[in-house]
């Protein structure tokens, strides 16, 4: 349910202040320690960030998509590692349970996910199943009233912090496609689950991803999301639809930050006796950044409003938003480094890190190429209508 304007203004202001006063000043620490400080995580829990998208009746804030993207514009303006800590609870880790879970599953897990007591990860990707997610091999074989799970999941965000997983596994060995996949709620303390070593990544220091290995892990059949096997892939795709708009808003927030860094630097840095912002070639880059930022903001707001209005074109529009905004932030980071000149290649400057950080946005939750396919397939399908 949408909030009244007054309440939402307060909410947004509170998040903005927290980002600017608590997160931005801690960016260097996260970069150097490769860890989000425990006290910051505690403050995020207290502030309520883990429950942004979970309805009030399950202990969350219950933002509409339009509201969530406005908050995303703020959250995106700092190192992406901060958002990653609660990102899986707000998005892919919890939404499957909310969208398709039974009432009992919702009541059991969502209130704890909303407060951050439970951190939930989303386990879909495998060593052999990335963009072709429907080919996943992790198996779940029924044995009495339990499923026995075997397989390996890759690049699982927050696995080291997680108390549970939303796991996609094949319950129907005969069906090699999407229809053989089911979604499970798997508590982390289930015997038979081990974690691989933490991945060393190009950027986003402070975020934690690793392999999750299932060896004869026994999960109650009652833990299938919604209680129905064979619809897990549909659940995953619905979850990613919403997630794409969330990532779009984060990407747009980061574009805004990059523009601020670049414009500030250009106004202070002097060459040939004047601030480099006075030079038209620099101005051209700043103007391109501003224009794309405005386009991204407008697009994400429109996409979110249509999501709230249940626009049937949503899968295509969400893919358009994710495709455009993540590519745009890539260009923004490139220009920001260019404006910084040699300094932009030095780790001490924020733009050097952000340049590496934003590269991931075009890869996860569906690569740009997958977005292109979703867009093209949908538009061709609707050609006759």
CA-CA distances (angstroms) from residue 145 to 33, 214, 220, 284?
Answer: 45, 18, 6, 64
Q: How far is the CB of 109 from another protein (least distance, A)?
A: 18
Residue 265 near residue 286 (C-beta atoms within 8 A): no
- Is the separation of the CB atoms in 339 and 262 below 8 Å? yes
Give the three-class secondary structure for 67.
helix
Which residues lie below 8 Å from residue 335, measured CB to CB, with a gap of 6+? 258, 262, 285, 286, 288, 289
Nearer to another protein, 267 or 338 (CB): 267
C-beta of 43: minimal distance to another protein in Å? 7
Q: CA dihedral in degrees (215, 219, 223, 229; nearest 10)?
A: 70
- The four Cα atoms 113, 115, 118, 120 give a dihedral, to 10 degrees, of 40
Place of tokens 């703020």: 74
Number of residues that bind another protein (CB under 8 A): 22
| φ/ψ of residue 302, rounded to 5 | -65, -45
Among 13, 57, 104, 132, binds another protein (CB under 8 A): 13
Residue from 26, 51, 155, 374 touching another protein (CB under 8 A): that is 51
Does 15 help bind another protein (rule: CB under 8 A)?
A: yes
Q: Does 264 bind another protein (CB under 8 A)?
A: no
* Residue 5 or 385 having the CB closest to another protein: 5
Cβ atoms within 10 Å, residue 152:
18
> Is 278 an annotated catalytic residue?
no
Shortest gap between Cβ of 48 and another protein (angstroms)? 3
Q: Considering only residues 56-95, where is the footprint of another protein by CB under 8 A? A: 56, 61
Binding mask 311-350 for another protein (x = CB under 8 A): ----------------------------------------
Binding region for another protein (CB under 8 A) out of 11-19, 28-36, 171-179, 207-215: 11-19
Q: How far apart are the first and last CA of the chain?
A: 32
Tokens 């969350």, located at residue = 60
Scanning 13-21, 74-82, 131-139, 230-238 for contacts with another protein by CB under 8 A, the matching segment is: 13-21
Taking the complex as a whole, the smallest distance from the CB of residue 305 to another protein amounts, in Å, to 22
Instruction: State which of residues 4, 103, 145, 189 lies at the interface with another protein (CB under 8 A).
Output: 4
Shorter beta-carbon distance to another protein: residue 43 or 334: 43
Q: Within 13 Å of residue 300, how many CA atoms lie on the same side as its CB?
A: 34
CB 228 within 8 A of CB 304: no
By the rule CB under 8 A, 17 interacts with another protein: yes
> Toward another protein, which CB reaches closer, 11 or 129?
11
8-state DSSP, 34: T
- Work out which of 39, 46, 132, 143 binds another protein, going by CB under 8 A: 46
**22 part of the interface to another protein, by CB under 8 A:** yes
- Tell me how far, at minimum, the Cβ of 336 lies from another protein, in Å: 24
Distances in Å between the Cα of 138 and the Cα atoms of 146, 168, 298 are 16, 8, 40
Closest CA to 322 of 2, 127, 121, 69: 69
Position 189 contacts another protein (CB under 8 A): no
* Residue 104 touches another protein, criterion: CB under 8 A: no
E strands, the chain, are 120-123, 139-143, 146-157, 164-170, 181-187, 193-195, 209-220, 270-271, 274-275
Considering the rule CB under 8 A, would residue 142 count as an interface residue with another protein? Answer: no
Q: Which is nearer to another protein, 3 or 221 (CB)?
A: 3
Q: Which stretch binds another protein (CB under 8 A): 15-23, 130-138, 158-166, 184-192?
A: 15-23
Among 28, 43, 199, 288, binds another protein (CB under 8 A): 43
- Nearer Cβ to another protein (14/368): 14
Contacts with another protein, residue ranges (CB under 8 A): 3-4, 6-7, 9-11, 13-15, 17-18, 22, 43, 46-49, 51-52, 56, 61
Enumerate the active-site residues.
365
């Amino acid at each position: 349910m949408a909030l009244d304007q007054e309440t939402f203004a307060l909410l947004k202001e509170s998040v903005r202040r927290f980002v600017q006063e608590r997160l931005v000043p801690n960016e260097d620490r996260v970069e150097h320690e490769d860890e989000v400080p425990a006290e910051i995580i505690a403050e995020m829990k207290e502030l309520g960030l883990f429950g942004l998208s979970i309805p009030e009746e399950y202990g969350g804030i219950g933002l509409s998509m339009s509201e969530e993207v406005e908050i995303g514009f703020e959250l995106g303006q700092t190192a992406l590692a901060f958002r990653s800590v609660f990102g899986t609870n707000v998005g892919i880790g919890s939404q499957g349970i909310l969208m398709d879970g039974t009432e009992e599953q919702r009541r059991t897990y969502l209130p704890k996910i909303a407060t951050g007591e439970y951190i939930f990860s989303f386990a879909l990707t495998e060593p052999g199943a990335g963009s072709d997610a429907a080919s996943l091999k992790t198996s779940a074989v029924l044995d009495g009233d339990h499923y026995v799970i075997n397989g390996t999941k890759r690049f699982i965000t927050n696995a080291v912090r997680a108390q549970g997983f939303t796991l996609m596994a094949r319950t129907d060995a005969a069906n090699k496609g999407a229809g053989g996949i089911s979604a499970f709620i798997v508590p982390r303390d289930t015997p038979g689950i081990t974690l691989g070593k933490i991945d060393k990544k190009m950027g986003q220091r402070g975020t934690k991803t690793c392999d999750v290995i299932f060896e004869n892990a026994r999960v109650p059949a009652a833990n299938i999301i919604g209680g129905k096997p064979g619809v897990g892939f549909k659940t995953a795709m619905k979850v990613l639809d919403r997630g794409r708009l969330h990532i779009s808003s984060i990407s747009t927030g980061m574009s805004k930050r990059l523009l601020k860094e670049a414009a500030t630097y250009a106004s202070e840095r002097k060459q040939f006796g004047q601030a480099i912002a006075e030079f038209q070639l620099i101005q051209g880059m700043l103007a391109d950044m501003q224009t794309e930022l405005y386009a991204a903001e407008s697009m994400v707001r429109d996409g979110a409003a249509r999501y709230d209005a249940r626009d049937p074109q949503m899968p295509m529009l969400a893919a358009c938003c994710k495709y455009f905004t993540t590519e745009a932030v890539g260009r923004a980071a490139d220009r920001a480094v260019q404006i910084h000149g040699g300094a932009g290649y030095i780790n001490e400057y924020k733009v050097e890190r952000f340049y590496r950080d934003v590269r991931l946005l075009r890869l996860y939750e569906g690569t740009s190429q997958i977005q292109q396919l979703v867009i093209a397939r949908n538009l061709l399908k609707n050609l006759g209508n």
